[in-house]
Structure 1
Amino acid sequence: MKEEERIIKNTIKRTKEYDRTLSPYACKTSECQKLRKEENEHEEFDIRWPFEEDIDRILYCKSYQRYTDKTQALSFFQSAHISKRSIHVQWVSRIARQIGKGLNLNLDLIEAAALGHDLGHTPYGHVGERALNEKLQEAGFGYFCHNANSVRNILYLERNGKGYNVSLQVLDAILCHNGEMLSKKYEPDRKKTKEQFLQEYHDCWHKENASLDLKPMTLEGCVVRISDVISYIGKDIEDAMSVGILQKEDLPEKVVKVLGDNNKSIMNKLIGDLMIHSYQKPYLRFSHEVFEALSTLLSFLGEKVHHHPVLEKENAKLSRMVKELFDVYLEELENNDQDSNIVKFKSKMIESYQNTPNPLIVSDYLSMMTDTYVLNDYESKFLPILHGEKL
């Protein structure tokens, strides 16, 4: 037997052994489904397990690299310690792996989905997301939500439109991760098929608020979804305190009594309570007391932080900036302006992408941008360039 064949057979054997150690409610590695046939499937020597391949494809894609200059919640504060999208996805991955390990779930699936869940997030976080959603509706195309756009990025936009063949279970967890929707109980839709997933993905673009009703097909997807909430809720509060728009004594007393008043305490309480009430269960859930405290804290965060008057005022400027760029890019596309970067972007994409509706191309282009790129491009298009005495 050739050495390569021996290694591959041992790897397959270890995959089966790993599956046997998992919870009966876990997604097994052997159940991994790809949406399309792999390129050079029988030619490449690869000892990675299927969900490990997904982790690597996400880690090395360009969308992942752009996390480093995309804001989490507070877009315009100049501080090295304000959360960025890059560190947020790492925190989600770490929290999700901790929960998954305790519940004996598939950690590779969890890690891939956690690292990829925000690949399609816009510059300036949810401000940019709302701006694109409004512009797509104005253009008569449909709707924008970052979770569906994350699937679009990795599956249809990376590698100049070729995309990456990431597993169905990972894509589904990314699509269904909506961290703004809180549930007391998270139970997967285990009967979901590839066809149902693709329909749900389509509906997110063409039916208003379709993403709010999605349920992951795996318990691992449920873990990533609640880990997103656990990751940001305490940290957004600490970030708000660090920039002076919130004080510790502002926190609701009944929340502090249950969850504590700092990120570490909030995370520990949420993770511990979830583990206790979900262990060896086909679902995830919190105790009534902890769920009520978390729900109150989430409402408090939205009202006192995300809708703080200072943030509202500055976010309006960011939204206007994104919308004005959208209009300029759309005009450049429609005029086929050969000097335009968005026209050059489209020309580099594969042939099948060329028939994409112009508003969606603008959405693709804008959503890929980092915060800094948007700001620089806005300045170049809308602000005058100062010259010396002679041109």
Structure 2
Amino acid sequence: MENEFSSRAMAPFASISSQSRGRLFDTGASPTRNQFQRDRDRIIHSTAFRRLQYKTQVFLQHEGQHFRTRLTHTLEVSQIARSIARALRLNEDLAEAVALAHDLGHTPFGHAGERVLNERLAQWGGFDHNVQALRVVTVLENRYAIHDGLNLTWETLEGILKHNGPIVDADGKPFGKYAREGLPAGLDEIVSPGDLRLSTHASLEAQVAAIADDIAYNAHDIDDAVRAGLLHISDLPGVPLVGPIAEEVLTLWPKLEQNRQAHEIQRRLITQTIEAVIAFSQGKIAEVAPSDVEAVRTCGQTLIAFPPDMAEAEKELKRFMFANVYRHDRVMGPVEAGEAVVGRLFDAYLSKGALPGRWRQIFADAPDAAGRAGAVRDFVSGMTDPFALEEHERLFDERPDFR
């Protein structure tokens, strides 16, 4: 449980585990861990978390063993989230739990798999990885004796769903990206100890996890792209956000091997963005002056953010990365192959019910077409990259070559 010192050290607007809205199933108190620490531990010990080791971040496994996977990305996000939360006197344990769970709903082959599932499931509301992450932690992880799911606290579930902001506005209309894309399917099926309040912001700890995600992949995608030979350090000067850092590193160590230059750029970029987020967020919090975590949820704005100039530079950096890395032929070829694998698997399972093991019965027991599609969605989205390839070979006697 949270000791007296740690609770006193937190800001008044931090989330306190002893004040949690609870779990669906009461677990009693622990003499050694607070409620959010227990959430973190349940996530780390879950099957879905282990599968992240074999799910694509940007570069597929055939490119080599040293590129980020969903698991290593998640660990980097968690570390950054803890650093920001500590500086802002927030609850590090809740920030860590949300960070560790934020990608549990991702498909094999990265965003390529998500795009395919969203297309295949269009008539049933599409596919959203945040909603799927909630399904993972509330329904699909079923190793406990007395309940399905991980039985996480309300605060962690809220953070998983809303770390990027509210789902709807005060009038119930789709908000943010959902105003463009429509509400994701499955919101009415969420299993939770209470209403997750789709129109409010999440806690500051969840907002910290969200911005830590951006900080992590901005930095490590550059590092991976240099390692893969898609970028050279000399390409970076002039690029918003990272350019000045690259120029400084090249001036200080012009003859240093490129991988070490890339690491120096990465660590400086992470440090610079973390420090800027902390300083700007402190100012935003002071301006709004939330009295407690409930005031954070109802203040009507995100309080953990990049400064405006850095936010614009970060958008420009993303555009540069899309043009020069994410849409590069060496990335797009495997991406398209991954899309084909996921699409063929989904179609085969849905039309023939050819799912393996217990999933075949889950599919057969579904009451209608939507239920059968949902069973296929849950099975396919949970696959690792290697298992998806094994299933493709089982069904089609063919193993795509991503090289």
Task: Indicate if the aligned counterparts of 1:143 and 1:205 stay in contact, CA closer than 8 A.
Answer: yes
- Alpha-carbon distance between aligned partners in 1 of 2:244 and 2:276, rounded to the nearest angstrom: 11
Deviation at 1:82, TM superposition (A): 0.7
Match of 1:5 in 2: none
Q: 1:26-62 deviations in whole A, cap 9, x for unaligned?
A: 1122231235232xx45x8654211111111101111
Match of 2:230 in 1: 245
Deviation at 1:284, TM superposition (A): 2.1
Aligned-partner residue type, residue 382 of structure 1: F
Which runs of structure 2 are paired with 1:208-357 in the superposition (5 Å)? Answer: 216-251=201-236, 253-255=238-240, 256-260=242-246, 262-279=265-282, 281-282=284-285, 283-333=303-353, 340-341=355-356, 344-345=358-359, 347=361, 357=371
Q: Judge which range, 250-259 or 22-31, deviates more.
A: 250-259
Match of 1:113 in 2: 98
- Alpha-carbon distance between aligned partners in 2 of 1:23 and 1:278, rounded to the nearest angstrom: 13
Deviation at 1:272, TM superposition (A): 1.1
Q: 1:298-326 deviations in whole A, cap 9, x for unaligned?
A: 12112221111332233112101100000
Secondary structure of 1:313's aligned partner: helix
Deviation at 1:254, TM superposition (A): 4.8
Match of 1:389 in 2: none
Deviation at 1:76, TM superposition (A): 5.0
Aligned-partner residue type, residue 141 of structure 1: W
- Alpha-carbon distance between aligned partners in 2 of 1:126 and 1:257, rounded to the nearest angstrom: 27
Match of 1:131 in 2: 116
Matched, 1:175 2:161: yes
Task: Indicate if the aligned counterparts of 1:52 and 1:108 stay in contact, CA closer than 8 A.
Answer: yes
- Alpha-carbon distance between aligned partners in 1 of 2:394 and 2:360, rounded to the nearest angstrom: 20
- Counterpart of 1:150 (choices 101, 110, 133) is 133
- Counterpart of 2:376 (choices 362, 365, 371) is 362
Aligned-partner residue type, residue 134 of structure 2: V
Secondary structure of 2:82's aligned partner: helix
Secondary structure of 1:357's aligned partner: helix
- Alpha-carbon distance between aligned partners in 1 of 2:309 and 2:230, rounded to the nearest angstrom: 28
Q: 1:228-249 deviations in whole A, cap 9, x for unaligned?
A: 0101111111211211222222
Task: Indicate if the aligned counterparts of 1:117 and 1:147 stay in contact, CA closer than 8 A.
Answer: yes
Cα 1:317/1:152, change in 2 over 3 Å: same
Cα 1:321/1:384, change in 2 over 3 Å: closer
TM-score scaled by length of structure 2: 0.76
- Alpha-carbon distance between aligned partners in 2 of 1:259 and 1:288, rounded to the nearest angstrom: 19
Match of 2:255 in 1: none
- Alpha-carbon distance between aligned partners in 1 of 2:10 and 2:82, rounded to the nearest angstrom: 14
- Alpha-carbon distance between aligned partners in 1 of 2:270 and 2:367, rounded to the nearest angstrom: 46
Task: Indicate if the aligned counterparts of 2:225 and 2:231 stay in contact, CA closer than 8 A.
Answer: yes
Matched, 1:61 2:46: yes
- Alpha-carbon distance between aligned partners in 2 of 1:166 and 1:81, rounded to the nearest angstrom: 33
Secondary structure of 2:121's aligned partner: helix
Q: Judge which range, 256-265 or 105-114, deviates more.
A: 256-265
Match of 2:395 in 1: 381
Secondary structure of 1:205's aligned partner: coil
Secondary structure of 1:301's aligned partner: helix
Aligned-partner residue type, residue 99 of structure 2: A
Task: Indicate if the aligned counterparts of 2:126 and 2:184 stay in contact, CA closer than 8 A.
Answer: yes
- Counterpart of 2:58 (choices 64, 73, 76) is 73
Matched, 1:93 2:113: no
Deviation at 1:131, TM superposition (A): 0.9
Deviation at 1:136, TM superposition (A): 0.6
Identity of aligned residues (%): 31
- Alpha-carbon distance between aligned partners in 2 of 1:233 and 1:77, rounded to the nearest angstrom: 22
Matched, 1:204 2:187: no
Task: Indicate if the aligned counterparts of 2:40 and 2:96 stay in contact, CA closer than 8 A.
Answer: yes
Cα 1:367/1:33, change in 2 over 3 Å: same
- Counterpart of 1:141 (choices 106, 121, 124) is 124
**RMSD after superposition:** 3.0
Cα 1:252/1:260, change in 2 over 3 Å: closer
Deviation at 1:128, TM superposition (A): 0.7
Gaps of 5+ in 2: 188-197, 248-264, 286-302
- Alpha-carbon distance between aligned partners in 2 of 1:119 and 1:321, rounded to the nearest angstrom: 20
Aligned-partner residue type, residue 271 of structure 1: I
Cα 1:58/1:163, change in 2 over 3 Å: same
Aligned-partner residue type, residue 162 of structure 1: D
Aligned-partner residue type, residue 273 of structure 2: L
- Alpha-carbon distance between aligned partners in 1 of 2:271 and 2:115, rounded to the nearest angstrom: 32
Deviation at 1:290, TM superposition (A): 2.1
Q: 1:164-193 deviations in whole A, cap 9, x for unaligned?
A: 211121112222345xxxxxxx8x89x99x
- Alpha-carbon distance between aligned partners in 1 of 2:51 and 2:239, rounded to the nearest angstrom: 39
Task: Indicate if the aligned counterparts of 1:29 and 1:51 stay in contact, CA closer than 8 A.
Answer: yes
Deviation at 1:292, TM superposition (A): 2.3
